[in-house]
């Protein structure tokens, strides 16, 4: 499939120049302009290159998100979260990434606390990501935090 990277790049420039940062919280679900990405990275859909995302962690004008999908494909890193706009959705934990809140277009809702907790505890991958980001969010000045992960299994216990 041929991807229209030029169209996405034009939209991305407009988002950067005129987009405004949104007020959000962890557990929020937003429409997010993820754009077109390389290979198997999760893309946005339709003309605005959007898809719903779950906010996992807040960092001011940026946040850690998990893209959502309505694909019925089963995988250990896809966690069912319930209905989003009348469609059964799953959070794609293997596609966690950081985005600027300028990419958000519309808030959809807030995820149930129990389901959110399950997502946070789902896998070693997510546990390690949350561990690293919790270290980064403890007030380390930008660019000064160094993290060495020798045994990732120790973090999830």
Whether the model clears a pTM of 0.85, i.e. scores above it, the answer is: no
Q: Please indicate, yes or no, if residue 47 is contained in any of the structural domains.
A: yes
Q: Please indicate, yes or no, if residue 16 is contained in any of the structural domains.
A: yes
What residue has token string 């997010």? 32
Q: Tell me the per-residue pLDDT of 57-111, one tens digit each, with 9 for 90 and over.
A: 988 999 999 999 888 888 888 889 998 889 899 998 888 889 999 989 999 999 9
User: Containing domain of residue 107, as a range?
Assistant: 5-121
Rg from Cα positions in the chain:
16
Q: Please indicate, yes or no, if residue 131 is contained in any of the structural domains.
A: no
Which CATH number fits the domain that encloses residue 47?
2.30.30.110
Number of domains composing the chain: 1
**Nearest alpha carbon to residue 79 among 69, 90, 87, 68:** 90
């Amino acid at each position: 499939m041929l991807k229209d990277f030029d169209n996405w790049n034009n939209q991305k420039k407009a988002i950067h120049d005129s987009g405004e940062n949104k007020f959000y919280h962890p557990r929020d679900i937003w429409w997010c302009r993820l754009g077109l990405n390389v290979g198997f990275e999760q893309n946005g859909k339709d003309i605005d290159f959007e898809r719903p995302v779950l906010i996992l962690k807040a960092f001011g004008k940026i946040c850690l998100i998990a893209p959502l999908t309505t694909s019925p494909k089963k995988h250990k890193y896809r966690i069912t979260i319930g209905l989003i706009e009348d469609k059964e959705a799953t959070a794609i934990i293997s596609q966690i990434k950081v985005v600027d809140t300028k990419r958000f277009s519309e808030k959809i809702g807030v995820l149930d606390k129990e389901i959110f907790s399950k997502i946070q505890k789902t896998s070693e991958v997510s546990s390690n990501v949350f561990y690293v980001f919790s270290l980064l969010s403890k007030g380390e000045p930008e660019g000064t935090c160094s993290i060495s992960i020798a045994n990732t299994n120790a973090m999830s216990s």
